[in-house]
């Protein structure tokens, strides 16, 4: 199903290394997920949710003092998203997640797929969610193609668009 121009313009854009919150039928969109991972999190009862576009696995001491964008990292970004969803009325114990991204965009003989940035991003996201006891309801991870995702927190619809492929809804 294609979107009208008005529908596309009404969507809340989530840039790389950022997150946005929405409620009900408001739609969040993030584009060009290559090795990055989209984390769509919501409280099904209140219909409040958020979409996070993670770029890197972990916030490190090297970043301390220079990097203030906590949403850029899996560990700190997920914590920030949870904290702000709770402030908007979500209940921590009801949060659920859908994931997309983590594509292997650069193939190199010197770096195995299991240790490239996309695999490390996916692993860091899954570990953080497991540690926080937030269940992953569905995911489309890996592969070799960039994705765009559209998330509607009220219904939980998580639509994945990939050039040259059939759109999927998780």
Cβ within 8 Å of residue 92, ≥6 positions away: 82, 86
CATH classification of the domain holding 137: 3.30.1330.200
pLDDT of 164: 84
Task: Please confirm, yes or no, whether 147 is among the known catalytic residues.
Answer: no
162 pLDDT above the threshold of 70: yes
Domain count, the chain: 1
Residue 129 · residue 82 · CB < 8 Å = no
Classify 140 as helix, strand or coil: strand
Residue 114 · residue 47 · CB < 8 Å = no
Cβ within 8 Å of residue 112, ≥6 positions away: none
Out of 14, 21, 33, 36, pick the active-site residue.
36
What separation, in Å, do the N-terminal and C-terminal C-alpha atoms of the chain show? 15
Determine the average pLDDT of the residues in 57-79.
79
Cα separation, 126 vs 63, whole angstroms: 22
Cα separation, 139 vs 38, whole angstroms: 10
- The domain in which residue 41 lies consists of 5-169
Q: What is the tens place of the pLDDT at every residue in 103-160?
A: 987 766 555 555 688 999 999 999 999 999 999 999 999 998 999 999 999 999 999 9
Cα separation, 141 vs 132, whole angstroms: 20
pLDDT of 165: 86
Q: What is the tens place of the pLDDT at every residue in 7-21?
A: 777 899 999 999 999
Q: What is the tens place of the pLDDT at every residue in 69-96?
A: 889 999 999 999 999 999 999 999 999 9
pLDDT of 66: 62
């Amino acid at each position: 199903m294609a979107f009208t121009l008005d529908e596309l313009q009404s969507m809340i854009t989530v840039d790389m290394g950022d997150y946005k919150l929405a409620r009900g039928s408001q739609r969040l969109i993030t584009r060009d997920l290559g090795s990055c991972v989209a984390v769509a999190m919501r409280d099904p009862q209140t219909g409040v949710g958020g979409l996070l576009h993670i770029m890197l696995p972990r916030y490190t001491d090297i970043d301390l003092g220079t990097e203030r964008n906590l949403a850029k990292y899996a560990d700190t970004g997920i914590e920030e998203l949870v904290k702000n969803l709770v402030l908007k009325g979500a209940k921590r114990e009801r949060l659920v997640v859908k994931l997309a991204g983590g594509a292997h965009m650069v193939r190199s003989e010197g770096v195995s797929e299991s240790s490239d940035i996309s695999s490390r991003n996916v692993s860091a996201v899954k570990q953080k969610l497991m540690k926080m006891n937030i269940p992953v309801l569905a995911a489309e991870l890996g592969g070799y193609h960039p994705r765009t995702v559209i998330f509607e927190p009220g219904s939980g619809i998580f639509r994945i668009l990939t050039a040259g492929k059939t759109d999927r809804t998780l």
